[in-house]
């Protein structure tokens, strides 16, 4: 698509959003219901911007906070490692704490309120990826959040866990027990659903975490798992991870394209059909 190579400054408005003691730049574009796209490591990738444009062109207003790094960079192992080390001492992002909500979620909930006030409609959506993959779950504490999506949720990280502790970590959520109970209550009372996306052999987003989400939310958690095991039909390597960005293909008939089509249908049902 032509806009894939357009600098983000050409078709997005940049503003700084402040809430309490935190402020971050946000890139906004489009018309229609609001969707927060929360980028992964090592930042707002070129492919993440292309993803945002696809949602915008489908009739949504996208809001993309920038937490670290310049927008539009390509995936880089060294950059990922550098930001991972920086986040280890961050006060706003919890990489290893289990059953805890990262403080940055409070800022994101405030951004949800802004997006809803600007865009109208029944509410807003959000998608987190990798580092932020689980953030949409505690964001359900915010009443305007109607369409949360979890893509390859990778926190808490299980880098140093071993044995039984590794399984315990793989099942853990980056969401406090209190926020989890609010999310479960809203899902039950308001008939909400929570889509989840991942590659089958992604070690950063373990199967046990999806198992836990099924246990907590039952049929309201709707997983879409792309086969990346040995001999898979698409020749995905076992290291495939980023469903909608670095490892995405928009070619019709591919599993990642099917994932996008399902995501788009979910947002249209929740945020457009009910408006």
| Whole-number average pLDDT of the chain | 91
Q: How far apart are CA 118 and CA 216, in angstroms?
A: 33
Quick one: pLDDT at residue 3?
38
Pick from 84, 104, 83: nearest CA to 96: 84
pLDDT band for 249, please (50, 70, 90 cuts). very high
Quick one: pLDDT at residue 275?
61
* pTM score, whole prediction: 0.93
Residue with more model confidence, 210 or 9: 210
Would you call 98 exposed, middle or buried from its count of C-beta atoms within 10 A (0-12, 13-18, 19+)? middle
Q: Tokens at residue 215, please?
A: 């246990």
Encode pLDDT of 105-164 as tens digits.
999 999 999 999 999 999 999 999 999 999 999 999 999 999 999 999 999 988 777 888
- Name the DSSP class of 75: P
Domains in the chain, start-ordered, CATH in brackets? 2-272 (3.40.50.1820)
Q: Tokens at residue 200, please?
A: 């089958």
């Amino acid at each position: 698509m032509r806009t894939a190579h357009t600098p983000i400054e050409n078709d997005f408005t940049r503003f700084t959003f402040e809430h309490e003691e935190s402020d971050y730049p946000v890139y906004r574009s489009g018309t229609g219901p609001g969707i927060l796209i929360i980028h992964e490591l090592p930042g707002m990738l070129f492919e993440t911007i292309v993803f945002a444009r696809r949602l915008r062109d489908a009739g949504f207003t996208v809001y993309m906070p920038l937490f670290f790094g310049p927008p539009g960079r390509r995936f880089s192992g060294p950059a990922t490692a550098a930001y991972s080390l920086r986040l280890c001492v961050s006060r706003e992002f919890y990489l290893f704490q289990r059953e805890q909500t990262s403080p940055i979620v409070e800022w994101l909930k405030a951004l949800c309120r802004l997006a809803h006030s600007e865009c109208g409609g029944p509410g807003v959506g959000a998608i987190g990826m990798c580092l932020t993959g689980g953030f949409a779950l505690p964001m359900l504490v915010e009443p305007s959040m109607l369409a949360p999506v979890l893509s390859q949720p990778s926190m808490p990280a299980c880098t140093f866990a071993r044995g039984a502790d590794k399984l315990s970590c793989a099942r853990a959520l980056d969401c406090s027990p209190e926020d989890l109970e609010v999310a479960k209550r809203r899902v039950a009372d308001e008939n909400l659903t929570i889509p989840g996306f991942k590659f089958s052999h992604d070690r950063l987003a373990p199967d046990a975490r999806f198992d836990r989400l099924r246990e907590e939310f039952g049929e309201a958690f709707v997983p879409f798992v792309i086969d990346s095991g040995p001999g898979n039909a698409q020749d995905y390597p076992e290291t495939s991870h980023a469903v909608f960005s670095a490892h995405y293909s928009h070619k019709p008939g591919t599993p990642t394209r099917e994932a996008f089509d399902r995501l788009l249908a979910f947002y249209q049902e929740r945020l457009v059909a009910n408006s």
